[in-house]
Amino acid sequence: MNNASLRKRLFVWIAAATVVISAISTAASFTLTFEDANELQDAQLVQLTNTLASQSSITPATHFQPKDSEDAETHLAVHVLGTRPLEDDPHIDLLIPESLSSGLHTIDQRGVRWRVMVSTSAGGQRFGVAQRQTVRDEIAEGSALLTLVPIVVLVPLLLLIVHRLLRQGFSRTVQLSAEVDQVDADHLSPLDPSGVPSEALPLVVAVNRLLARLGSVLEQQRRMVADAAHELRTPVAVVRVQADNLGNADLGEDARARLNILQGGLGRISRLIEKLLDLARVQGSTLLQDEVFPFDAEVRRAVEETLPLALQRGIDLGVSRLDPAEASGQPAHAFAVARNAIDNAVRYTPDGGTVDVCLELRGAQILLTVDDSGPGVPADKRERVFEPFFRVLGSQQPGTGLGLAIVRSAAQALRGRVALEARPDGREGTRFAYSQPAAARSAER
Amino acid sequence: MLGSAVRQALLDASYAADWVQTGDAATEALATHDFDLVVLDLGLPGRDGLDVLRTLRGRQVTTPVLVITARDTVDQRIEGLDHGADDYLGKPFAVGELLARLRALVRRRAGAPTPTLSNGILALELATKRVTVDGQETVLSSREFALLQALMMRPGAILSRAQIEHAIYGWGEEVESNAIDVIIHGLRKKIGAGRIVNVRGLGWMVKQNGAAA
């Protein structure tokens, strides 16, 4: 799969095109300016010659003696045809042949190239004004190079602007993918199309339609579970009542023992139905309005409700700390988290064991931990026990396999995190840890 | 099916029970006979159970009604109670619980001579301050009675030390740091150590159903 960044690709292509085009335009502009400069110099040469021609007599090399001057304009020499200049100056060391016709010429003499304008003076004297070609070229090059300055300065600036614009244009797309990443099964909120460029808008709309379809499928699944559990209630109630009625009949000891097993099984089925309904309820209630509520009150209630089971099993269920802590969300979800976590801890702890509940407000985080003295959960199973109906092999406990699945769903609804860990004090057992942000009001206290 | 099973359970418990299977038959039976109790399954064929309940209450019939339903979310529970149900039982249920609730409804209708707090084992008559444990009368001091009364207001609920102090001492009264422990120690001697449960870190409670444990 080739997932090269569109932004990077666009930038590379725009930069390459800019560089190539500006290189061509630089070359063209250099050549044209160079030629223009040569033509201008020719015109100057012609003008100067015409001026000299109006004189009756020409004095060779008397004008524009260049000696020390670096000014290119002065590198001109006036020669009477067929004569050498008087001074021995390499700059004007030139013999213009008499055969040369009037007009502009380029002549090579002893390795030096000259540009010469030949004319006849008013006194009938034939003369030429000469300039070294290298000097002319230097001047032309100088002015041609000057025309390149704006291009050389502006191209990097242009590339910088393009880079900026591209990054800005794609930043909303990057932000959108972050938003898509945050969508989870419990909060299928559609993406916000504001600020999205019109080219990307169809994709956003399509993703939102997909989210809506996904939502309705999930909703159907939830309703299916809830409906199935509801439909099971009446027939199970019938069987339960009839089994209880059987207990009132005149039964032998053997039959009564078997009936007890039957009733135990029916009790477990009833509990399973209740848990299925709890799960459907927790998953389906995300549309309700959030409220700020005391988290500690829900933990207290969860301890109260689990206490009968703990007492029956001789388990020391206690609270080591209970900070007042306010959370935002639905109280029923907080109760579901605490109730099922504590219930689970009590169920998987052998008779006579200990279960410690701790609710701590640490900064802006609410931390709920439940430590048990049970056999512990192997590290590689600690994630999977949150899946519905997953149970650690070998555990004989009559759980429904739904308690921790309910916890996870409720935690997601509260935007909290759950995990099973080894006990931090190194003792045998499991720590259940739940954390979620405290409501702003609580964090201020 | 459920109806016949419930009827059998009621007969076993020595109630005289009539069973009708449709909403109309129920309305008619209630119009022509005088019953002490009605057990109403909301999932009736033909006519909605809540509709039967409405008709009944519309005729000023005050017979206690226990509603049995597969719909038991809090909202639906409240709706049922608003329509005049006296109690609510979600399916599936144990016969023991059904009978216990029916007994409570009968008692309530008969009108207790004095208001009584009870969890099945402990019973506090509020007017006379009589306390019985498993039917045996016990004499408590006024502080002990006040403390037990606070716990018995809602069996199963845990009260913290501060809540108990607030319940049995007036404002500004000096409370010794171990006063509550002393009272509870005395109480446990009289009514049995297991009747008041200490919950580590939270406080004390009396069991919701004293007979069960």
Two tokens at A265? 């099984």
Tens of pLDDT, residues A215-242 = 888 888 888 888 888 888 888 988 999 9
Q: What is the mean pLDDT of chain A?
A: 84
pLDDT of the residue at B210? 57
Report whether pLDDT(B150) > 70. yes
Best mutation target, B88, B163, B200, to test chain A (most A CBs within 10 A): B200
DSSP one-letter string for A208-238: HHHHHHHHHHHHHHHHHHHHHHHHHHHHHHH
Measured CA to CA, the distance from residue B124 to residue B129 in angstroms comes to 7
3-class DSSP state for residue A165? helix
CA distance A377 to chain B (A): 25
Q: H/E/C letters for each residue in A187-207? A: ECCCCCCCCCCCCCHHHHHHH
Task: Give yes or no for a cis peptide into B92 (omega within 30° of 0).
Answer: yes
pLDDT of the residue at A91? 60
Pick the more confident residue, B83 or B123: B123
Helix, strand, coil percent values for chain B (each to nearest 5): 45, 15, 40
> Average pLDDT for residues B185-209, to the nearest whole number?
89
Q: What is the helix (H) or strand (E) element at residue A319, kind and residue range?
A: strand A316-322
> Average pLDDT for residues B110-120, to the nearest whole number?
70
When pLDDT is cut at 50, 70 and 90, the band that residue A443 belongs to is very low
CA distance A181 to chain B (A): 34
- Unique residue bearing structure tokens 């016949």: B4
Do A387 and A398 form a contact (C-beta atoms < 8 A)?
A: no
CA distance B10 to chain A (A): 9
For residue B38, the Cα-to-chain-centroid distance in whole angstroms is 17
Which chain B residue lies closest to A236 (C-alpha atoms)? B92
> Average pLDDT for residues A407-420, to the nearest whole number?
91
- Unique residue bearing structure tokens 């666009």: A10
Two tokens at A148? 């390149």
Report whether pLDDT(A61) > 60. no
Nearest to A444 by CA among A340, A371, A327, A364: A364
Which chain A residue lies closest to B194 (C-alpha atoms)? A311
Q: Is B93 on the interface with A (CB under 8 A)?
A: yes
Question: According to DSSP H, which parts of A249-380 are helical?
Answer: 253-284, 295-313, 331-347
CB environment B11-38: b (16+ within 10 A), e (fewer) = ebbeeeeeeeeebebbbeebeeeeeebb
The two counts, helices (H) then strands (E), for chain A are 8, 11
Q: What is the helix (H) or strand (E) element at residue A182, kind and residue range?
A: helix A133-182
Measured CA to CA, the distance from residue A238 to residue A40 in angstroms comes to 114
Q: Is B162 on the interface with A (CB under 8 A)?
A: no
Residue A250 vs residues A58, A243, A247, A254, B4: alpha-carbon distances, Å = 155, 13, 8, 12, 19
pLDDT of the residue at A226? 83
Do A359 and A321 form a contact (C-beta atoms < 8 A)?
A: yes
Pick the more confident residue, A281 or A366: A366
Burial label, A445 (beta-carbon count in 10 A; 0-12, 13-18, 19+): exposed
pLDDT of the residue at B113? 54
- The dihedrals phi and psi of A181, each to the nearest 5 degrees, come to -60, -30
Q: What is the dihedral of CA A192, A196, A198, A204, to 10 degrees?
A: -40
Which chain B residue lies closest to A269 (C-alpha atoms)? B92
Q: What is the helix (H) or strand (E) element at residue A369, kind and residue range?
A: strand A365-372
Report whether pLDDT(B187) > 70. yes
Do A350 and A374 form a contact (C-beta atoms < 8 A)?
A: yes
Q: What is the dihedral of CA A39, A44, A45, A46, to 10 degrees?
A: 90
Residues in chain B within 8 Å Cβ distance of A230: 70-71
CB environment A90-118: b (16+ within 10 A), e (fewer) = ebbebebeeeeeeeebebeeeeeebbbbb
Percent of all residues in chain A with a pLDDT value above 90, rounded to a whole number: 26
Q: What is the helix (H) or strand (E) element at residue B87, kind and residue range?
A: strand B87-90
pLDDT of the residue at A72? 46
Sign, Cα dihedral of A332, A338, A340, A343? negative
> Average pLDDT for residues B30-59, to the nearest whole number?
82
Tens of pLDDT, residues A143-166 = 888 888 888 888 889 999 998 988
Length of chain A, in residues: 445
Do A388 and A279 form a contact (C-beta atoms < 8 A)?
A: yes
Write the CB contacts of A380 (distance below 8 Å, at least 6 apart in sequence). none
CA distance A270 to chain B (A): 6
pLDDT of the residue at B72? 61
Q: Which residues of A touch B (CB under 8 A)?
A: 230-231, 233-242, 244-245, 248, 266-267, 269-270, 273, 281, 300, 303-305, 307-308, 311-312, 316-322, 357
Residue A363 φ/ψ region, left for φ over 0, alpha for ψ in the -120 to 50 degree band, beta for the rest: left
Q: What angle is formed at CA A423 by the lines to CA A419 and CA A426, rounded to 5 degrees?
A: 150
Comparing A103-107, A186-190, A241-245, A249-253, the range with the smallest average pLDDT is A186-190
Measured CA to CA, the distance from residue A64 to residue A49 in angstroms comes to 13
Write the CB contacts of A50 (distance below 8 Å, at least 6 apart in sequence). A119
Percent of all residues in chain B with a pLDDT value above 90, rounded to a whole number: 11
Task: Among B98, B157, B201, select the one facing A318 at the smallest CB separation.
Answer: B201
Nearest to A103 by CA among A34, A63, A45: A45
pLDDT of the residue at B100? 86
Task: Among B9, B71, B158, select the one facing A245 at the smallest CB separation.
Answer: B9
Q: Which residue type occupies A125?
A: Q
Task: Among A231, A241, A307, select the one facing B6 at the smallest CB separation.
Answer: A241
Interchain contact, B156 vs A266, CB within 8 Å? no
When pLDDT is cut at 50, 70 and 90, the band that residue A362 belongs to is very high
